[in-house]
Structure 1
């Protein structure tokens, strides 16, 4: 390894291992001094600030998995819908496009070294815009380091969201990668107008991408997913084998918001149950509603949670989706502009399958979270963790619990610790050294709290009273590698992205004087 590259490597590892922002800033200044590479472009953490409410004024609800917003945030739930049931549900409308075909080659970009032999049957799909470019690029490298060699489709919406220079960086890094401008493609085909396209320049791009991609067995990933295993293994789960889908649960949050809101000011019926009862099934060839077993036993149906799905990883076999993707189109292109049934896109997937009467499967395990080092979870309340969402491999009870991934920008992207803003909560700030996670268990709500319990004042991201268990031993090294890749992508030190185990070798042959 050249001496300059070795020096850069050492700085990046020091950055990734730093446990305070002071250490990070001082080390990062060294990186900026290396003349071989451009200055870092690490941006400030793009957080939506929490809104303080009193318990009687409104429900405080977790809002999670916003890939272009960073870590989970808290928002104030609206007390009721703005519209009455008679006008709340727009007319059912099926997908149609104009004379121009979709999947126009003009909007699919491949590098000169693209491998045309790569299978299009299975693939990984990631939405990347310039604001999460370093996260997305480092995730792509992690997939390859974990042994995944499938086609990767990078989707974006309109040219401005992923400029040409960033596209070229992505294409040079991988021969099994292509870039798709889905919004320009659909505008050209007269499926949507350019004005409407702008409404997909956010988390709503993900379900649009699922509808558009020509890959059959799709795994959708968020750019801030931190993988412990190759996500392709989810296709081997019983749920995915049986239904062609695998969804993951979000936290159980008892609040009158989104699909758990009242359908009107004069009704106690939830919006979810109202949608299921009044959906125009005949437009899609069905006689009427047919409730799935999952729906009938869900916290959502029982009006005990305003969140059901965590969409940071979604596995779908499109060849087995029936009419679910047509219903998905209706939800994301029509209904969501009238009905706030979901915080962002995340509930659209399972609701589409439910309305389309198509079998679907959730992981047998509830959501977990990792400990937050900045809020000192383990020291203050070891039975209540408040960090980023984590998901277990969806095996059955006979399998050993294994961590599949963590959805956590806060583990990668530092923000100032001295921000004097009362809305910035410690548990969503840079999590330098998580040590524990909530044990694997069936989905359940947080435990009831005693009056003097210190966890009672904690943010709604916390899984209260559900316990903790140490993170697996390999988590630290996996996180370190991802941090080094993220910092390398942020600082344009792209040559380091080709390495998967450089930090483990630790320059074995380096002499003490080097």
Structure 2
């Protein structure tokens, strides 16, 4: 007993002395994990920059918009990319202190997230002469995405939505023939309508662009007609002018010198004052009319056309996962998230799925869940088979679903493995217990 008492006194003395030290890692720091905290891991910035430049000669990187509402989704995406073998630096763009998640600085000290860094896009926007915007400061405002593209330090930018469930290493996309030829790669939206209903709206939008921009000398008002490449892309577009999937796209923003960044800056300077870009107009649940809308990713896509430069748009149309009991209740109507294939790949090689409903147990507030399928999608079972772009068929009772399902097949085992791992990382970050981040198994 006397020996035990001496040992306890010695242990307490060590702890009390350590508390007065200004530096060093506390003994038994691992116990902080169980309390939802993480001990500091400091890596000198010059070492990080040196390693990044030597390992990334083409200046390629991933851009993710982060805010208080998607904090866990964004960081779990960073971790998932590393688990898939995508050895790329990641920029996490936010807009000022109000959109800075309080736990973010703590989480980023985890060694598993060491290749990610925070970027205050709005601070950089102010430095570049863009007005400090209410346009970007709200979590629901997707215009922060094109701003992030503009201020990013990367030349080759891979833009990913925080809720994208990436199923395989996207790094080979950099060497895809479509990207190498055009400096861009976009996936199609699912919500398509016949081309005869879309072309006039796109032409109108491009005319408005011509009024907004300080154009290059090579771009004349008389030559603003749609290119053959862009016209081919108009085989389908949505009623809200959404053509490209906002969850994932690539662009080489310096491929044409500073022309593309300059036009993007002009767009961001004028978008607040032009109602044509008010893409978040209210929708009527009773089938009422809606204003002409355009999404920020589509604006980035249109920039290439304005510069008379080709873009690469995926040859396949978007696919859809099922929601709970879709197959039992209405097998031709799928209400799950959008999924994307690459042409020539088997169905088990889906590239990504875009859906907060797969990760967040409450993706929408109950007051916003107008339909039951807007809730948590616990275990999807099927995905529609790859198909060419085609107009979407919708039914009044399922207004946001794909009602034209003809063929579907079971999801592969690899999908469920990826989903389980992503959910584990997501919930670890959401709860502040980072035990599982160090492993990809």
Question: How does the TM-score come out when normalised to structure 2?
Answer: 0.76
Following superposition, the deviation at residue 317 of structure 1 comes to 1.3
Aligned residue in 2 for 1:82:
none
Structure 2 CA distance for aligned equivalents of residues 276 and 205 of structure 1: 22
Q: Counterparts of 1:51-130 in structure 2 under 5 Å? A: 112=44, 115-116=48-49, 117-119=51-53, 121-130=59-68
The answer as to 2:419 corresponding to 1:479 is: yes
- SS where residue 251 of structure 2 aligns? strand
Q: Deviations over 1:470-502 (max 9, x none)?
A: 11221111101111111111111112111110x
- SS where residue 351 of structure 2 aligns? strand
Aligned residue in 1 for 2:129:
191
**Structure-2 change in CA distance of 1:35 and 1:178 (3 Å):** closer
Q: Deviations over 1:253-303 (max 9, x none)?
A: 4499xx95xxxxxxxx84421232461577222233152223213347888
Aligned residue in 1 for 2:84:
146
Q: Counterparts of 1:157-306 in structure 2 under 5 Å? A: 157-163=95-101, 165-173=103-111, 174-187=113-126, 189=127, 191-195=129-133, 198=136, 202-254=141-193, 270-277=200-207, 279-280=210-211, 283-285=215-217, 286-287=219-220, 288-299=223-234, 306=241
The answer as to 2:310 corresponding to 1:359 is: yes
- SS where residue 52 of structure 2 aligns? coil
- SS where residue 440 of structure 1 aligns? coil
Aligned residue in 1 for 2:5:
none
Aligned residue in 1 for 2:28:
none
Following superposition, the deviation at residue 346 of structure 1 comes to 2.5
Deviates more, 1:436-445 or 1:459-468: 459-468
Structure 1 CA distance for aligned equivalents of residues 414 and 424 of structure 2: 16
Structure 1 CA distance for aligned equivalents of residues 207 and 419 of structure 2: 45
Q: Counterparts of 1:269-418 in structure 2 under 5 Å? A: 270-277=200-207, 279-280=210-211, 283-285=215-217, 286-287=219-220, 288-299=223-234, 306-321=241-256, 323-335=259-271, 337-341=273-277, 342-373=293-324, 376-393=325-342, 395-396=343-344, 399-401=345-347, 402-415=349-362
The structure richer in helix per residue is 2
Given that residues 156 and 181 in structure 1 are in contact (C-alpha distance below 8 angstroms), is that contact kept between their aligned partners in structure 2? yes
**Structure-2 change in CA distance of 1:487 and 1:222 (3 Å):** same
Aligned residue in 1 for 2:6:
none
Given that residues 192 and 391 in structure 2 are in contact (C-alpha distance below 8 angstroms), is that contact kept between their aligned partners in structure 1? yes
Given that residues 214 and 266 in structure 2 are in contact (C-alpha distance below 8 angstroms), is that contact kept between their aligned partners in structure 1? no
Gapped runs of 5+ residues in structure 2?
1-31, 278-292
Deviates more, 1:479-488 or 1:171-180: 171-180
How many pairs does the alignment contain? 375
- SS where residue 276 of structure 2 aligns? coil
Given that residues 220 and 315 in structure 1 are in contact (C-alpha distance below 8 angstroms), is that contact kept between their aligned partners in structure 2? yes
- SS where residue 252 of structure 1 aligns? coil
Aligned residue in 2 for 1:70:
none
Structure 1 CA distance for aligned equivalents of residues 406 and 166 of structure 2: 23
**Structure-2 change in CA distance of 1:184 and 1:277 (3 Å):** closer
**Structure-2 change in CA distance of 1:243 and 1:197 (3 Å):** same
Structure 1 CA distance for aligned equivalents of residues 238 and 114 of structure 2: 47
Q: Deviations over 1:96-147 (max 9, x none)?
A: xxxxxxxxxxxxxx95476221135111111111221111111111011001
Structure 2 CA distance for aligned equivalents of residues 305 and 158 of structure 1: 30
Given that residues 37 and 491 in structure 1 are in contact (C-alpha distance below 8 angstroms), is that contact kept between their aligned partners in structure 2? no
Following superposition, the deviation at residue 314 of structure 1 comes to 1.1
Given that residues 365 and 440 in structure 1 are in contact (C-alpha distance below 8 angstroms), is that contact kept between their aligned partners in structure 2? yes
Q: Deviations over 1:44-84 (max 9, x none)?
A: xxxxxxxxxxxxxxxxxxxxxxxxxxxxxxxxxxxxxxxxx
Structure 2 CA distance for aligned equivalents of residues 246 and 177 of structure 1: 23
The answer as to 2:381 corresponding to 1:435 is: yes
Following superposition, the deviation at residue 181 of structure 1 comes to 0.6
Question: How does the TM-score come out when normalised to structure 1?
Answer: 0.66
**Structure-2 change in CA distance of 1:290 and 1:478 (3 Å):** same
Highest relative contact order (Cα 8 Å, sep 6+), 1 or 2?
Answer: 1
Structure 1 CA distance for aligned equivalents of residues 170 and 237 of structure 2: 31
Structure 2 CA distance for aligned equivalents of residues 128 and 463 of structure 1: 33
Aligned residue in 2 for 1:31:
none
Structure 1 CA distance for aligned equivalents of residues 203 and 374 of structure 2: 33
